[in-house]
């Protein structure tokens, strides 16, 4: 579940990217930290203004966003690989 007031978009902050409310920390950066292997506690140690609840809200937001989108990335990757092998 997305905690509605934890993730906001404001066109005057980071070009309108989704951010943690009250910060300039984007959902994108949080996801990059997690994908690099950082645990929530490590992220909080590095960015003490964040909470576990905010980090989880970022993950939930991204999951909801991806769930709503159709992706053709596999078709494109397959096509690109096919073109390269020619």
**What pTM did the predictor assign?**
0.73
- pLDDT tops 90 at residue 68: no
Average pLDDT of the residues of the chain: 83
Between CA 34 and CA 26 the distance in angstroms is 13
Higher pLDDT, 74 or 22: 22
Domain 7-85 has CATH 1.10.3720.10: no
Give the residue, 75 or 64, on which the prediction is more confident: 64
What phi and psi values does residue 79 have, to the nearest 5 degrees? Answer: -65, -45
- Asked if residue 57 has pLDDT above 70, the reply is yes
For 8-33, what is the mean pLDDT?
A: 94
């Amino acid at each position: 579940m997305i905690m509605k007031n934890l993730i906001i978009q404001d066109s005057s902050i980071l070009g309108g990217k989704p951010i943690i409310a009250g910060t300039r920390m984007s959902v994108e950066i949080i996801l990059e930290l997690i994908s690099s292997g950082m645990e929530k506690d490590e992220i909080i140690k590095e960015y003490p203004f964040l909470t576990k609840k905010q980090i989880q809200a970022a993950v939930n937001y991204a999951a909801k966003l991806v769930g709503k989108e159709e992706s053709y990335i596999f078709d494109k990757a397959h096509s690109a690989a096919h073109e390269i092998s020619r």
